[in-house]
Amino acid sequence: MNLVEFVNKAQSIPFKNRGRDYDGWDCWGLIVVAYRDCWDIDLKDFEYHNAMTAEDVTDHFDQYSKQWIDVKPNEVEAGDVVIIRYGKWPCHAAMVVKPGLMLHIKMDIDTCVESYSRSEWKHRIIGFYRHRDMVKRCS
């Protein structure tokens, strides 16, 4: 499936905590399914649970981030991941569908495409990241 087909199929899929299929997903589940179905890349899943502290989430993110490379905002491409903070902690992920637009989901909204330049998001972006396997494919 190409990215356009995935985005069309994914829009309006509901939030489901720890969901990892088209019946529902959380923000990371959306990315896991997209990478699997569009690029045949199996991403390591987060073992997130409600008892984790913000520090635990940050430590987990730091360990997992070794599979990703930083991307400058002016070099963002479709498939890159946007990490967004709440407060000072990384707590939300979205996928770039084209520069300026992200596909994401939150508890209170179904999967949708939205500008990451909106005031709700732009000041909370920690960074953009590209999976190392995506880099290898483009080399």
Report the number of distinct structural domains present in the chain: 1
Mean pLDDT of 105-133: 94
Residues in the chain: 139
pLDDT of amino acid 87 = 83
CB 9 within 8 A of CB 32: no
Residues spanned by the domain of 109? 3-138
pLDDT of amino acid 139 = 44
Q: Which residues is 126 bridged to in the sheet? A: none
CATH code of the domain in which 95 resides: 3.90.1720.10
Question: pLDDT, tens digit, for every residue of 87-98?
Answer: 877 789 999 999
